Copies of this chain bind each other. A is one copy, B any other.
């Protein structure tokens, strides 16, 4: 396998945690890695190959203009490495918009794809995570784009989660077909008329179904998807913080919380975004994994593992097939 191009400069804890995660992916999982960034700032790279890039797109920079202007940035060079056949995939925990723009502008779209979409995994306690897309690539969508999101989401659920026949649903504010905005009603009609793959389109679901087993893939526009994703993250964080605060009060409570440490650690892992190793930009000609800005070494190792899995399963080939039908 060609190496996975890792943007060593992107993320709140770059480059140290990114390099550490890349080393673990290489040493412990046997995955070839190509670090992209400023060689002098990477520290000990343990012999990993480095592709030099002199510029860094900041986390809060304007994506489009940054990518156009900073041609020697780690993000742009990582995307070019995939385009030029020097790497098999790219992974970044940096500026999400700039990651998308780099992948889109350098790799290009899969033929027939109207718009790439970000697919994120939402934890479902006791079950398989739910694939949510678009979780932020397109703030405004046309209703028929959601048909392609459904087709691509079904392929992703099959390869990423091993669900043979994924059930695809549309995010709305009521389960009945007539519920929702005019946009959602049009998308509903388009999804009903289309071949989405897997177990097919099962209708509307609501926000409360995201973290349940109601559907395997949930499609929506990128604005609603991003609000839902961040709302879920915020709610989990608020409750976990409140839980830890409450448990740090009475001495008896502190003691009991100590006993419960294994259970609490398990929950923390199950619900933490890092566990899933990042989202995937579906619809570009190459594997592009977008990790959380807070990515640490373990999360980066997971993200590289996911990238390798997607390359080995030829997800991009299967996505191309799904949207062409």
Residues of A within 8 A of B (CB): 123-126, 136, 139-140, 171, 173, 179-184, 206-212, 220-224, 226-243, 245-247, 249-250, 252-253, 255-257, 259-260, 263-264, 266-267, 270-271
Contact = CB atoms under 8 A, between A and B. Distances in A.
A245 B136 contact: no
Nearest to A182: B140
Contacts of A228: 207, 227-228, 231
Contacts of A139: 173, 179-182, 184
Name A's interface SS: helix
Contacts of A255: 256, 259
Given A211-B237, A249-B263, A253-B263, 14 more contacts: A125-B241, A136-B173, A173-B227, A181-B223, A184-B223, A207-B234, A208-B233, A210-B231, A211-B235, A228-B231, A232-B235, A236-B239, A247-B260, A255-B256
A157 B32 CA distance: 56
A199 B234 CA distance: 24
Given A259-B252, A263-B253, A234 B208 contact: yes
